[in-house]
Amino acid sequence: MFRRRALLTIVCLGILNSGWFSSIGFAQGDFSIYLSSGVPADPGQVGVPLYMILTSADTVVGIDMLVEFDFNLLACNSVQWLSHFQHVSYDKSVPGRVRIAGRGYNRDSTYPSPLNPATDTLGIIRLNVTSQDLMADIEVPVSFFEDVGTPFADNRLVRADGSFIIPPELVLADGGIFIRHPLYGDVNDDGYAHTIADVIFFFNFLAGSQKISSRQRANSDVNGDGVQASMADFIELLKVIVEE
């Protein structure tokens, strides 16, 4: 009995190590697209990267995606593809929505092969953040959207045989941008607002001898008009320090 159990254990370990078991599980159909969530951003930041990740148990030669977000807080800057699709496009003409498409390959061409079964980064949706004061930290969802006005599924994968993979077989995981509320007046971002060090830092930036991060830029909107790192903000910072 002991020898039989030992032999069974050895066989099972051999199967697991060979990858045969995992390949059988993979072939059952595991398809998902998820967007990165909790991506930190500052008011006024441009091109915040939100990643699109694909997991597929089959060869994929095409993809369609439609995502939406609050257009009062976010705007699409661009979509950067990292995959090997021949034809890629995106449409950001509708505020608060981005339609993304990638298509195929030709077996007789010199184009790269389609996406094989794996987990891959498809690309990056780059978003611009409003510079207005939101009064607090805010999580802005970026969600998959299904438009009832279109005659086809807006979120789908295309297999090599031309068939579609759509929800619920295709799992869609929403993402989001976490907009951090600025500490106005802390221009050098050292945790203390309205200090002489902030004035010196701000002056050097306006003079062109100091670089500024997205966080420092957001903190620089001292007068709260939504225009960051301006001469008006510098003057307001001086006024606050003098009054204190």
CB atoms within 10 A of CB 120: 17
Summarize pLDDT for 148-187 with one digit per residue, the tens: 999 999 999 999 888 999 999 999 999 999 999 999 999 9
Q: Is the pLDDT of residue 25 over 80?
A: no
Higher pLDDT, 48 or 5: 48
Fold adopted by 29-179:
Immunoglobulin-like (2.60.40)
- Average pLDDT, integer, range 68-79: 98
Q: Could you tell me where in the chain the CATH 2.60.40.680 domains are found? A: 29-179
Task: Look at strands 138-144 and 175-179 and give their pairing.
Answer: antiparallel
> pTM value?
0.83
Higher pLDDT, 106 or 53: 53
Assign 23 a pLDDT band (cuts: 50, 70, 90): very low
- Whether 175 contacts 34, CB under 8 Å: yes
